[in-house]
Structure 1
Amino acid sequence: MEAQSIRGVRVHAYNDLDSITIDQVPIPDLKDDQILVRIEYAPINIIDLMQALGYYNRQPLPHFFGKEGSGTVVKTGNHPYARFLLGKRVSVDSNVPGFGTYADYLVAYASDAYPLRDSVTFEQAASLIVNPMTVAYMVEKLKQGNHTSALINAAASGIGKMLIKWCKLLNITTVNFVRRQDQADILASIGAEHIFNTSNDGWKESAKALTTQLGTKIGFDAISGSATQDMLDLLENDGIAYIYGALSGEPAHVSPMSLIGGDKTVKGLLLTTWLARMTNEKRVEVGYQIQDLIGSALKTDYISEVTIGEVKDALKQYAAKKTDSKFVVKIRRG
């Protein structure tokens, strides 16, 4: 029997997680380039918290949310690529306004779906896009510039750990920054070689000696605020810092002389921009590349599995910004 409605998690007021409710709405008619995915799993990422609070992709309220997930395509529009996906297991990115993956069904663009290999489980595939593909974008930047070393702050984050592991496979040295000893211990446990705790005295002087020795000219900044200037200070002349997050909640602090005197650059790095430049065939190729590493370098570890009804409480815990506090939502039961 064909599904008639969508049941899932909707936010009703920005900056108020208590406004989240479980709602049900009719499934709309699909446009030619759209698909309907029966969702199995969806992770909770920082981008989901930001959307719930109204800091990212602000939409008319109320709306379903959840950025990525996995499931099966059960209905499609008339576009050839959409029809190609019918019946396929996919990882999917949510970009159709009003819809999200914390729901039993998702209306999505066909171009945002990535067919899965038989060996990849729905649980693994739930986190195939946001973090792993951002890391793939970073690796492309490293390869384009023939870089042999890179700086990573917030290095104990999901993206940070994935980038460290992928760089090890490529023999690229990473210089990693955290702010607590437990985070440093996590990085040591995955084989990170150079780890600096920014809460310790003298960390920056020691890091600068190393980056000078390595000739490091690229860094990935998840924090912004004063961390951006710290990264620029550690890069060699003609270096570039890519900002891909703002965990500090502050604008990037940059000295003009860092840019002028050292001919250094600060740029944004946004996964959506990269993917938008690709053909459907290229996106599928990148998806398979990610799947080849999803059980190893790009593995996502969850601390807990929750239900749709527990998303609100899980988001509140995630908002505490505890390292490794990654939840996965199991949409279907039984």
Structure 2
Amino acid sequence: MKSIVFEQTGKPAEILKPTDVPMPEPGLNEVRVKVIASPINPSDIMFVQNLYGIRPQLPSGAGFEGVGLIDAVGEGVQMDVGARVGFTSIGTWSEYAIAHQRSLIPVPDNMSDDMAAQLFVNPFTAYAMVQDAGVPEGGWLMVTAAGSAFGKLVIQLCKMRGINTIGTVRRDDQTDELKSLGLTEVINTESENLPARVKQITDGNGVACVLDAVGGHTATEALKCLAKGGTMIIYGLLSLQDPAINAGLLIFRELTVKGFWLTDWMRRVDSQTRQDVAQNVISLLSSGKIQLPVEASYSLDQITEAVEHADRPGRWGKILVKP
């Protein structure tokens, strides 16, 4: 079978290549999935560069989530062959992938493959982080990199909960789309003073929570936007630069800065919470209340073009790999 494999870490466009590998066999509590589609997420790109929380065991497959059909089951698995499932694993950019049965989410018939391929990483992270943020109805939440797939999900979730949102962008051409999704206010960090604009928007109070994936200067400035007792939750580092933390702000405004990693969150919460989040996410996506647009799809043989497109600024939707 064909799979995307890398033998050394580095820039994805330079090291990823389709490779013929033996067909994998499922072990205890595992299934083999015939992959239909898999997204390219920032976490996938970070993993290939050895910059993620999970370190690749070389040679390694790439891709963390996808949708497919159960092709074979190992001992202890009760699910049916042929069932369509969203799943997580390492090596989903492949014709077939092995996944633990705990990672499988049955996909409703009315959900498209393109949406089901994105079922786990961004929707679960967005839902869990909005929950953790604890911003009440009518309160203010800020999300950096608002034009990302994750940012768009947060905007839509907050709109449904009556939470006001401020989103940061670097280009004005994203404003109309983000407003249509429910973003309350847009701030262009290239041309506007972020703390001054937030102070103006919130009548001098600041925001209750910032969800940040950028780091660097953007996160440094976003920290200044928090209200007294506010929280910044960091879930990424797109700039590859650490923010500068002002200790005086933390002390005198009683601020909290903490990290969020979905893998640890899934381990930390109980099974009922995981099931509740899964049911809520599936319900929102199936109903059409939350959108997960796809900009383009590529085959395994086009992996170089796919990762280059995923890294291109100005995208409006996710890039999928379709074996």
Q: TM-score, normalised by structure 2?
A: 0.91
For the residue of structure 2 that corresponds to 1:313, the secondary structure is: helix
Counterparts of residues 1-334 of structure 1 (less than 5 Å): 6-16=1-11, 17-56=13-52, 57-79=54-76, 82-84=77-79, 86-94=81-89, 99-142=90-133, 144=134, 146=136, 148-212=139-203, 216-280=207-271, 282-294=273-285, 296-324=288-316, 326-331=318-323
* Counterparts of 1:250 and 1:280, CA distance in 2: 35
Deviation at 1:126, TM superposition (A): 0.2
For the residue of structure 2 that corresponds to 1:303, the secondary structure is: strand
For the residue of structure 1 that corresponds to 2:18, the secondary structure is: strand
Give CA-to-partner distance per residue, 1:65-116, whole Å, 9 cap, x none: 111100112222323xx3236442110111xxxx411111111111111111
Deviation at 1:273, TM superposition (A): 1.4
* Counterparts of 1:155 and 1:92, CA distance in 2: 26
User: Quick one: structure 1 residues 145 and 160, their matched pair in 2 at CA, closer, same or farther if it must change by over 3 Å?
Assistant: closer
2:59 partner letter: P
Q: Contact 1:318–1:325 at 8 Å: present in 2 too?
A: no
* Counterparts of 2:233 and 2:317, CA distance in 1: 25
Deviation at 1:281, TM superposition (A): 5.5
1:177 partner letter: T
Structure 1 segments of 4+ aligned residues over 4 angstroms from their partners? 212-215, 278-282
Deviation at 1:145, TM superposition (A): 5.3
1:78 partner letter: E
For the residue of structure 2 that corresponds to 1:311, the secondary structure is: helix
1:130 partner letter: V
* Counterparts of 1:322 and 1:234, CA distance in 2: 26
1:233 partner letter: K
Give CA-to-partner distance per residue, 1:180-232, whole Å, 9 cap, x none: 11122332333322111112244431211323556522110111112222122
CA RMSD of aligned residues (A): 2.1
Give CA-to-partner distance per residue, 1:136-187, whole Å, 9 cap, x none: 1122114x45462211111111111111111111111111111211122332
* Counterparts of 1:74 and 1:13, CA distance in 2: 30
Structure 2 unaligned segments of length 5 or more: list them: none
* Counterparts of 1:292 and 1:309, CA distance in 2: 34
User: Quick one: structure 1 residues 293 and 110, their matched pair in 2 at CA, closer, same or farther if it must change by over 3 Å?
Assistant: same
Work out the number of aligned pairs and report it: 319
* Counterparts of 1:262 and 1:85, CA distance in 2: 54
* Counterparts of 1:245 and 1:43, CA distance in 2: 18
* Counterparts of 2:96 and 2:267, CA distance in 1: 24
For the residue of structure 2 that corresponds to 1:236, the secondary structure is: strand
1:101 partner letter: T
Q: Contact 1:198–1:204 at 8 Å: present in 2 too?
A: no
User: Quick one: structure 1 residues 146 and 212, their matched pair in 2 at CA, closer, same or farther if it must change by over 3 Å?
Assistant: same
For the residue of structure 1 that corresponds to 2:229, the secondary structure is: coil
For the residue of structure 2 that corresponds to 1:75, the secondary structure is: strand
* Counterparts of 2:2 and 2:102, CA distance in 1: 24
User: Quick one: structure 1 residues 297 and 321, their matched pair in 2 at CA, closer, same or farther if it must change by over 3 Å?
Assistant: farther
* Counterparts of 2:122 and 2:290, CA distance in 1: 8
1:88 partner letter: A
User: Quick one: structure 1 residues 231 and 184, their matched pair in 2 at CA, closer, same or farther if it must change by over 3 Å?
Assistant: same
Deviation at 1:129, TM superposition (A): 0.8
